[in-house]
Amino acid sequence: MNLTVNGKKAAIADKESLSISGLLDELNVADPLYVTVELNGDIMERINFDNIMVRDGDEIEFLYFMGGGRG
């Protein structure tokens, strides 16, 4: 399947669908415990990462904490 991940095309070979957890694993996403996942414009709940499936054509954004500023 072909996805758009953080604005770039990403091809996942030999799979027609994949859970969000599986996708985080497949793409070796850094800090998977702390990434926020937006699927087709909606923020996904972490407790559902094993159950929500991504499919061909989906748009995914991985959003990360950034804590700096004052110091």
Partner 1 sequence: MLTDEQIERYQRHIALKEVGGKGQRKLLDGRVLIIGAGGLGAPAALYLAAAGVGTIGLADADVVDLTNLQRQVIHFTPDIGKAKVVSAREKMAAINPEIKVNTYQEWVHAGNITGIIRDYDFVIDGTDNFAAKFLINDACVLAGIPYSHAGILRFDGQTITVRPGESACYRCIFPSPPPKDAIPTCSQAGVIGVLPGVLGLIQATEAVKFLLGKGDLLTGRLLIYNALQMSFDVIQIKKNPKCPICGETPSIKELKDEVDAVTHCDLEKK
Q: Which residues bind partner 1 (CB under 8 A)?
A: 6-7, 31, 33-34, 36, 38, 41-43, 45, 61, 63, 65-71
Look at residue 39 and give its three-state secondary structure.
strand
State the minimum distance, in angstroms, from the CB of residue 11 to partner 1. Answer: 21
State the minimum distance, in angstroms, from the CB of residue 33 to partner 1. Answer: 7
Burial class (CB in 10 A: 0-12, 13-18, 19+), 32: middle
Rounded Cα gap, residues 6 and 39, in angstroms: 11
Q: Which is nearer to partner 1, 22 or 32 (CB)?
A: 32
